[in-house]
Amino acid sequence: MPMCGGLTDAKDADETVQAICNDVKKHAETKAGKEFEVFNAKSYKTQLVAGTNYFIKIHVGGNDHIHLRVWKKLPCHNGELEVTDIQHSKAEQDPIEYF
């Protein structure tokens, strides 16, 4: 079980994480200032806070990847998703770290 506030080990993205990516794609594009050719989750880490932070590595076309931090709020706040940060110019081999 992950420690509250600490990041989990990286895991391969699953259907749940891809669904989160699909839900926030437009918000991520707005934050990035451009549209993405593809938006496929590759791997992720989580952090337990007042909800869950997802740190997700996403393939966005060609050799380009981004790292996206998405906050999934607690159920008492309707479990809403919020894009809180983005890192550009990432490579497939770049590790996901806290940002």
pLDDT, average across residues 28-45: 95
Domain count for the chain, please give it.
1
* Under 8 Å between Cβ of 1 and 35: no
Per-residue pLDDT of 42-71, as tens digits, reads 999 999 988 999 999 999 999 999 999 999
Give domain status of residue 37, yes or no: yes
Give domain status of residue 98, yes or no: no
Mean pLDDT value across the chain: 92
Where do we find the tokens 């990432």?
A: 90
Q: What CATH number corresponds to the domain at position 57?
A: 3.10.450.10
Give domain status of residue 50, yes or no: yes
Q: Could you list the residue range(s) of the whole structural domain that residue 27 is in?
A: 11-90
* Under 8 Å between Cβ of 49 and 84: no
Q: pTM for the full model?
A: 0.90
Cβ–Cβ contacts within 10 Å for residue 99, how many? 11
